[in-house]
Amino acid sequence: MVIAKEWFTVVEAAEYLCVSRRTIYKLTKEGRLPAFRIGKERHRRFRKEDLDKVPLP
């Protein structure tokens, strides 16, 4: 049974979209990619469905 990954870290999101981590942070800052903060250290997580909708240049 294969379980699809639903949540991605910054590094995983960058690899998934074939862009740099800097681009992920930029997309988040511009509001084009929703990010969710997790835990006390507030690590960012991204939903796969949001990554699939991101308009890339």
Tally of CA atoms within 13 A in the half-sphere of 4 that contains its CB: 4
For 5-33, write each residue's pLDDT tens digit.
789 999 999 999 999 999 999 999 999 99
- Is the entire prediction scored with pTM above 0.85? no
10 contacts 25 by C-beta, under 8 angstroms: yes
Domain ranges of the chain: 7-53
Q: Which fold has domain 7-53?
A: Multidrug-efflux Transporter Regulator; Chain: A; Domain 2 (1.10.1660)
50 contacts 33 by C-beta, under 8 angstroms: yes
**Residues sharing a CB contact under 8 Å with residue 22, sequence separation 6 or more, in sequence order:** none
For 26-44, write each residue's pLDDT tens digit.
999 999 999 999 887 778 9
- Torsion angles phi and psi, residue 46, rounded to 5: -125, 140
Q: What is the mean pLDDT of the chain?
A: 90
The first and second tokens of residue 50, run together, are 């949001």
